[in-house]
Chain A
Amino acid sequence: MKNDIFSINLQKHNYLNMQEEIFQDKINAEKKIEPKDWMPDGYRSHLIRQISQHAHSEIIGMQPEGNWITRAPSLRAKMILLAKVQDEAGHGLYLYSACETLGVTRDELNKQLHEGKAKYSSIFNYPTLSWADMGAIGWLVDGAAIVNQVSLQKTSYGPYSRGMIKICKEESFHQRQGYEIMAHMANGTKEQKEMAQDALNRFWWPSIMMFGPQDSDSPRTGNAMKWKIKRKTNDELRQNFIDKTVAQAELIGLKIPDPDLKWNEERGSYDFGEIDWEEFWNVVNGNGPCNEQRLEHHKKAHTEGEWVREAAKAYAKKQTHNE
């Protein structure tokens, strides 16, 4: 074969096609992809985007709940909430750790978050106004996250899959503690029940928006399914969550704020009302009630921690000298 620039490009092209074919065969055979394996650039960048968004969500998600630690109504509630918020930090770190295996640094991921280039789940841009919101978040937000994460345990990227398995083991305590708060309040005084219903009213729609745009408006779903990064589509996961949750609301005497919610015998699922996608995109694009506050707080904590990181480095250097 001639070695002019055209044939070199052709050889490179053929090589990439061959690699991509081997890669897709592995995916189709349900084999996991590990960090050192060859992978298409698009697979890598999709994973970095998805995993970092997931990690940022865990970390930013500490804020709305952290807001209530000092005002928890009992010592028991306070200890539980502290443990839960600590778990969220842990989940964020498992995910950053998985993301770093793709060749991106933690500093870069933080920078993308601070510059608004990386997103986090919009649900955390809503304020937590009452103690009942701690119930609603655990029950609905963690509940929705579990549905998503259970399906992601089978994602094709090894480190992400292992992170999801660990997170799922820890997450069910979160949902149960939230539902317990809701059940207590729903069975409490009239005012307490109203607070619980109010929290459900405010968090229901944002929770079902957590699964993202409808499949018909989700441009990246195709590749994510082909590469088995995602195992179920946004709409499938959303339906799954709604079907699980309706009976839980009924059991504690709360009403899901959707007049169109109706059991569909034929589908074996609930039909539900139209989601306000304008609100969804508005919050995603930075105009939710707390977007600015959440990001500012993260930047502030990061900046104020600078001296700690420096001191730790200086201490380590000194230790090495002394050894």
Chain B
Amino acid sequence: MNKAATIWEVFIQSKNGLPHKHVGNVHAEDKEMALQNARDLYTRRNEGSCIWVVKSEHIVSSVPEDEESFFDPANDKVYRHPTFYDLPDGAKHI
């Protein structure tokens, strides 16, 4: 039997209305244990209102070596930013 424990990534929502944020990982064998371990490890001081746990092997990540080409499509579209546009002097509330 493979002895190494399964690793789960932990995401915490600090309060309703805010996004879940990655905080680290825990070792656990099943999802219930993963949630309980995450609670004991990452929310000892009421840091969260909701916890997500996801098996690390299920996370798909982009790779830093491809960073340039991967994000390249956004580089030449400055017109997506509001500062790109010329407005007549005196325009307000826009």
Contacts and interface: CB of A to CB of B under 8 A. Distances in A.
Interface of A: 34, 36-38, 83, 86-87, 90, 93-94, 97-98, 100, 105-107, 159, 162-163, 166, 170, 309-310, 312-313, 315-316, 319
Interface string B54-77: 000000010111000000000000
Interface size class of B (residues with CB under 8 A): 20 to 34
17 contacts: A36-B61, A37-B64, A87-B44, A90-B40, A90-B41, A93-B41, A94-B24, A94-B41, A97-B25, A106-B4, A107-B3, A162-B24, A309-B5, A312-B28, A313-B1, A316-B30, A319-B30
A93 B26 contact: yes
B20 interface: no
A312 B64 contact: no
Q: Which 6 A-B pairs have the closest CB atoms?
A: A316-B29, A312-B29, A316-B30, A97-B24, A97-B25, A37-B64
B4 A312 contact: no
Given A312-B29, A312-B30, A316-B30, A107 B44 contact: no
A159 B64 CA distance: 16
A34 B64 CA distance: 9
B30 A86 contact: no
Interface of B: 1, 3-7, 23-30, 33, 40-41, 44-45, 61, 63-65
Contacts of A98: 24
B4 to A, nearest CB: 6
A170 B45 contact: yes
Given A97-B26, A312-B33, 15 more contacts: A36-B61, A36-B63, A93-B26, A97-B24, A98-B24, A105-B4, A159-B24, A163-B24, A309-B5, A312-B29, A312-B30, A315-B30, A316-B6, A316-B30, A319-B30
